[in-house]
Amino acid sequence: MAKSRIFQELEKLLEQAENIVNDELMDYREKWLMDRDFRTQTFETNPDCVLTIKGMGREIPFFPICNRTALGDPNFILSAIRAAKKFEGNPSVDPESAREVIVKLAKLYQESKQVV
């Protein structure tokens, strides 16, 4: 008996959801964003290489600006811009800090598009 199209679509969506939960679809360059210890270590070792967002009385490491692989990929920078924009309305984040990060990322995005 053949599966209905709706059932096939549901299976596909469930598989995608499971992959997201298991981090299988996450770009390897984005995984560091989820690894708090690695972000903190990188920021403490070389703070000039990390864009930060100010929030809750401290600086939160956000994006590696010394990572050549990340900076060479406009799509990766674009996903960082989308993530940073989600912080704009967050009351625990300094709005000016979030805006600065978005502006810097937009500049990096334009530069990466010229290289490609």
pLDDT tens column, 31-66 = 666 677 776 777 777 777 778 888 877 887 777 777
The predicted pLDDT at position 23 comes to 55
The predicted pLDDT at position 22 comes to 61
Task: Enumerate the β-bridge partners of residue 55.
Answer: 58, 93
Reported pTM = 0.60
Question: How high is the mean pLDDT of the chain?
Answer: 76
| 3-class state of residue 50 by DSSP | strand
> Taking residues 60-82, what's their average pLDDT?
77
Residue of 87, 84, 75 whose CA lies nearest to 104: 84
Residues 39, 33 contacting (CB under 8 angstroms): yes
Of the chain, the percentage scoring pLDDT greater than 90 comes to 4
The predicted pLDDT at position 8 comes to 77
User: Per-residue b/e over 26-58, b at no fewer than 16 CB within 10 Å?
Assistant: eeeeeebbeeeeebeebbeeeeeebbbbbbeee
Gap between the terminal Cα atoms of the chain: 49
